[in-house]
Amino acid sequence: MKWIFLFFLATSLMTSCYSQNNQNKNANMNNEKKTTPVYSKTDTTKVVLKDEEWKKMLDPEVYHIARQKGTERPFSSPFESFKEIGTYYCAVCGNALFKSDTKFDSGCGWPSFYEPISKGSIIYLPDNTLGMKRTEVECGRCKAHLGHVFDDGPPPTGLRYCINGVVLDFEKAKEAEKKYGTKQ
């Protein structure tokens, strides 16, 4: 009984913390994210920094997920149900990761995609933590932890890249802006 109480207490504390964070995340979807000195949407050179350097330059939540392989709470990312047309980038380094037309609603609680933007944009690593056999995905440029890939996705690939929204940045497609007459 004591454990059940502690579980519910911890869950309610996490929920209140994440709801406050979600208010801040909504602003981040408009390209207002704090970027790092290595952030570039055009530079493709590999980024190798010491952990202390990452810790100094990254937001604590981004650092926890990108460098310590953390996971955000399911359904807490505004990107999970985001429908805009454009490109998703690594929030740490600016590496192009996914096009919005490969995003789908998997119901898993995290933004899901069926295909990366290119073969080199993602690194695949075995992950056997917590007694599970999974494949971790990292950014191909800075090796930030993004999430995991599973083989239960839709055609044409059959893959589901389950990605933490905290480590994503988004840029609206320029053609979509022209078509609908809106500006970022």
Whole-number Å distance between alpha carbons of 43 and 47: 10
User: Looking at 93, 139, 142, 162, which residue is catalytic?
Assistant: 162
SS3 17: helix
Q: Which helix (H) or strand (E) holds 120?
A: none
Residue 111 exposure: Cα atoms within 13 Å on the Cβ side: 28
**Which tokens hold the place of 162?**
């389950």
113 alpha-carbon distance from chain centroid: 11
Helices and strands counted in the chain (H then E): 4, 9
Among this protein's residues, is 162 annotated catalytic?
yes
Q: List active site positions.
A: 162
